[in-house]
């Protein structure tokens, strides 16, 4: 074969190879969202994302503006009968009790140590704050990260016996992957403490620490010991819930989300803020309808109450996901 | 040519093509940092980045942990004789004066309107805060973004006559590109107001709003008018300077930087925090030594004072960049 034939052939091969490589990147999932049933909910997501990512679509959105925000508790992982972060607090109180003998006679600690969670919570927000500060303040950020990682590696849900990190919703993992493959920036915006979430978000969700927004304590710079540390103070810095969510999104991301996913009234303002932006946007509420495979709850629930946001979703035509009908499986190891 | 020869050849071509495509991505700049002179400073950067990005290097750092933080004023763009954000405030006071006739007799506004900046600043922090609140609070975040963008599009430096956004340092633009091409996440961490910086950071620096950390005012959710707004309140939320910088880095990024770049004592704690991490890390101080092409200042300067941080850099062997010797050009349109 002479050079004359060889060169065009090389060109064809290179072009084909480059095309194959590009298409492998862009269409990595020929059947996206495999744990989702083929319902209107899945179709609404696929249709919206197709519009936002197709260059000649009237709904095209440049990659830089493809921000997707997800609540965590009840949206990405289970939140019943109590937030996982509350189990963390209870476990830490038990672990720390020997160093605090006075806790045996002091509420809310005494009730926790007796296993009486209801009694501990009888003190309301003040009791919760006392538990938070006793377990999450007074150490450096590095120390807290180690404590959180240790707990996450072994802590199990009292009813399911699963690791908490195995109670993440497989369909949502697929959705986050699907969005990232289409150049969305995926954020978690949660009422939970930001540093505990960062202890598993990257490994479990593929969401790096800088894409996690949450509640926080005030901190203090301490360079008195030669090696600088950042100390966690027993004082609330920010509660990332209800209107706190859009405020934190604006402060940290500085750009309005294109898509927002939540499951409770605490997410309502985040969804409102998202949908009040220009152009087509997407809001979805996870409705916990599956008592057999997970929990079924909404308007009357103590944790993850979904009432006003459900009404507003129906009124405004936001997508309401039905966990029982829309999801083939809840957790990744289910058939 | 039979099939037997054809197939292996195709394989070779595809492999070569894929290799070429990959190397085009990874070595996009055969001569990196063209506006930097070939000095020890440039070499220190290239050597560090090579170590952090070469998979079999003992100093290899996974892409997720490649965080690079840059101060803004005096590090990425000029800050003399006053921060650009202060010129914004002065311009806004003049624009808003007709709506505030009382300002003619009220300090610090009266001095600003007379062109007496020194007189306006005689009132110290309290005067500065009055000017900040009069110009930056009391409107929605969307409104402020529009005001900031309008100003940035036309505001010029009183001495150079350049647009402020044309007073960014070309060598630093190249450095940020160089790092991003090597999977670094580039952040701005500045004492300046975050929302004004976001008005140009993406277009000018290639740094999207979510990678800009700065000082901020408190905000408030307002859904009283039907369409929700986020209102800027006349109250400081956070000052992102000195120890505020590492605190904000920890809160927003949640991971210690691998590289940090600053130019003044306000950056010292950010550099200390970066260098106190494990493994090899990189800290650089921009020393303003070029009175002919920019400004020369350090220990005695009112703006961008570099004193303690210069001593610590020398003592600890951090890189001290000499603008006159290390940079071929300051701005992009210089030869």
In this structure, is the dihedral angle defined by the CA atoms of residues A31, A35, A38 and A43, taken in order, positive or negative?
negative
Nearest to B64 among A9, A202, A252 (CB): A202
- pLDDT band at A29; cut points 50, 70, 90: low
Tens of pLDDT, residue by residue over A174-229, are 999 999 999 999 999 999 999 999 999 999 999 999 999 999 999 999 998 889 99
Tens of pLDDT, residue by residue over B223-271, are 988 899 999 999 999 999 999 999 999 999 999 999 999 999 999 999 9
- pLDDT at position A36 over 90: yes
> Cα(B262)–Cα(B70) distance, rounded to whole angstroms?
6
Under 8 Å between Cβ of B186 and B70 = yes
Q: Which residue of B has its CA nearest to A215?
A: B251
Tens of pLDDT, residue by residue over A281-290, are 999 999 999 9
A198/B228 Cβ within 8 A:
no
Cβ burial, residue A18 (10 Å; 0-12/13-18/19+): middle
Residue A116 CB coordination number (10 Å): 13
pLDDT at A68: 99
> Cα(A277)–Cα(A281) distance, rounded to whole angstroms?
7
pLDDT at B31: 87
Cβ burial, residue A79 (10 Å; 0-12/13-18/19+): buried
B247/A230 Cβ within 8 A:
yes
Query: Given the DSSP bridges, would you call strands B229-238 and B212-222 parallel, antiparallel or unpaired?
Result: antiparallel
pLDDT at B29: 61
Residue A87 CB coordination number (10 Å): 18
| Distances A266 to A15, A73, A189, A243, A245 between C-alpha atoms, Å | 51, 11, 11, 8, 8
A219/B251 Cβ within 8 A:
yes
Query: Given the DSSP bridges, would you call strands A229-238 and B282-289 parallel, antiparallel or unpaired?
Result: unpaired
Which residue from A136, A233, A149 is spatially nearest to A198, judged by alpha carbons?
A149
Residue range A14-36: average pLDDT?
61
Under 8 Å between Cβ of B211 and A237 = no
Give pTM, 2 decimals: 0.91
- pLDDT at position B20 over 50: no
pLDDT at A1: 40
Residue range B166-182: average pLDDT?
98
* Average pLDDT of chain B, as a whole number: 93
Residue range A311-319: average pLDDT?
98
| Run of H or E including B193 | strand B185-193
B179, two tokens: 């790092």
Which residue from B23, B170, B176, B158 is spatially nearest to B88, judged by alpha carbons?
B158
B8, two tokens: 């292996």
- pLDDT at position B22 over 80: no
Q: What's the full length of chain B, in residues?
A: 335
Task: Identify the residue whose tokens are 């402060």.
Answer: A251
- pLDDT band at A8; cut points 50, 70, 90: very low
B194/A255 Cβ within 8 A:
no
Residue B125 CB coordination number (10 Å): 8
- Mention every residue, 6+ apart, whose C-beta is less than 8 A from residue A209: A198, A201, A202, B253, B254, B255
In this structure, is the dihedral angle defined by the CA atoms of residues B76, B78, B84 and B86, taken in order, positive or negative?
positive
pLDDT at A184: 98
Under 8 Å between Cβ of B201 and B208 = yes
Tens of pLDDT, residue by residue over A220-266, are 999 988 899 999 999 999 999 999 999 999 999 999 999 999 999 99
CA distance B246 to chain A (A): 8
- pLDDT band at B206; cut points 50, 70, 90: very high
pLDDT at B125: 92
Q: Which of A7-16, A46-55, A110-119 has the lowest mean pLDDT?
A: A7-16
- Whether ipTM > 0.85 holds is yes
Q: Which residue of A has its CA nearest to B206?
A: A64
| Distances A86 to A14, A90, A93, A99, B73 between C-alpha atoms, Å | 56, 6, 11, 21, 43
Under 8 Å between Cβ of B17 and A17 = yes
**Which residues on chain B are in Cβ contact (under 8 Å) with A205?**
none
> Cα(A284)–Cα(B93) distance, rounded to whole angstroms?
44
- pLDDT at position B326 over 90: yes
In this structure, is the dihedral angle defined by the CA atoms of residues B178, B181, B182 and B187, taken in order, positive or negative?
positive
- pLDDT at position B3 over 90: no
pLDDT at A226: 83
- End-to-end CA, chain A: 55
DSSP string, B15-54: HHHHHHHHHHHHTS-SS--TTB-SSHHHHHHHHHHHHHH-
pLDDT at A31: 87
- pLDDT at position B8 over 50: no
pLDDT at B176: 98
> Cα(B15)–Cα(B10) distance, rounded to whole angstroms?
8
pLDDT at B11: 47
pLDDT at B82: 95
Q: DSSP character for B249?
A: I
Phi–psi pair at A179, nearest 5 degrees: -70, -45
Percent of chain B topping pLDDT 70: 91
| Distances B21 to A211, B50, B54, B186, B330 between C-alpha atoms, Å | 30, 20, 19, 25, 33
Query: Given the DSSP bridges, would you call strands A212-222 and A229-238 parallel, antiparallel or unpaired?
Result: antiparallel
- pLDDT band at A2; cut points 50, 70, 90: very low
**Which residues on chain A are in Cβ contact (under 8 Å) with B272?**
223, 228
Q: Which residue of B has its CA nearest to A185?
A: B210
CA distance B187 to chain A (A): 11
Angle between helices B84-96 and B124-136 (to 10 degrees): 60
Residues of A in CB contact (< 8 Å) with B are 1, 9-10, 13-14, 16-18, 20-21, 64, 67, 141, 185, 194-195, 198, 202, 208-210, 212, 216, 219-221, 223, 227-228, 230, 237, 243, 246-247, 250-255, 269, 272-273, 276
B251/A237 Cβ within 8 A:
yes
Nearest to B13 among A10, A237, A243 (CB): A10
Which residue from B257, B287, B286 is spatially nearest to B272, judged by alpha carbons?
B257
* Average pLDDT of chain A, as a whole number: 93
Percent of chain B topping pLDDT 90: 89
- End-to-end CA, chain B: 55
Interchain CB contacts (distance < 8 Å): A and B: 103
CA distance B205 to chain A (A): 14
CA distance A300 to chain B (A): 25
A255/B246 Cβ within 8 A:
no
- pLDDT band at B23; cut points 50, 70, 90: very low
């Amino acid at each position: 074969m002479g050079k004359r034939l060889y060169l065009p052939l090389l060109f064809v091969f290179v072009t084909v190879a480059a095309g194959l490589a590009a298409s492998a990147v862009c269409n990595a999932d020929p059947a996206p969202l495999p744990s989702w049933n083929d319902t209107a909910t899945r179709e609404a997501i696929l249709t919206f994302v197709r519009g936002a990512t197709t260059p000649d679509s009237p709904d095209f959105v440049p990659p830089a503006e493809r921000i997707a925000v997800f609540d965590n508790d009840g949206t990405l992982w289970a939140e019943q009968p109590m937030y996982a972060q509350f189990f963390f607090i209870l476990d830490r109180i038990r672990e720390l009790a020997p160093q605090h003998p006075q806790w045996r006679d002091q509420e809310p600690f005494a009730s926790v140590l007796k296993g009486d969670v209801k009694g501990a919570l009888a003190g309301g927000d003040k009791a919760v704050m006392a538990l938070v500060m006793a377990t999450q303040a007074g150490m450096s950020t590095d120390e807290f990260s180690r404590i959180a990682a240790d707990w996450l590696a072994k802590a199990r849900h009292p009813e399911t016996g699963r690791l908490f990190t195995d109670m993440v919703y497989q369909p949502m993992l697929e959705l986050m992957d699907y969005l990232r493959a289409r150049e969305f920036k995926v954020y978690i915006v949660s009422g939970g403490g930001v540093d505990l979430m960062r202890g598993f978000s990257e490994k479990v969700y593929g969401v790096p620490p800088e894409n996690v927004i949450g509640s926080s304590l005030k901190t203090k710079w301490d360079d008195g010991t030669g090696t600088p540390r950042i100390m966690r103070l027993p004082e609330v810095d920010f509660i990332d819930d209800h209107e706190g969510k859009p405020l934190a999104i604006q402060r940290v991301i500085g750009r309005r989300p294109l898509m927002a996913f939540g499951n409770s009234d605490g997410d309502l303002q985040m969804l409102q803020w998202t949908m009040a932006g220009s152009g087509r946007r997407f809001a979805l509420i996870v409705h916990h309808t599956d008592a057999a495979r997970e929990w079924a709850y909404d308007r009357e629930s103590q944790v993850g109450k979904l009432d006003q946001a459900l009404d507003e979703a129906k009124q405004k035509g936001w997508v309401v996901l039905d966990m029982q009908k829309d999801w083939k499986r809840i957790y990744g190891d289910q058939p």
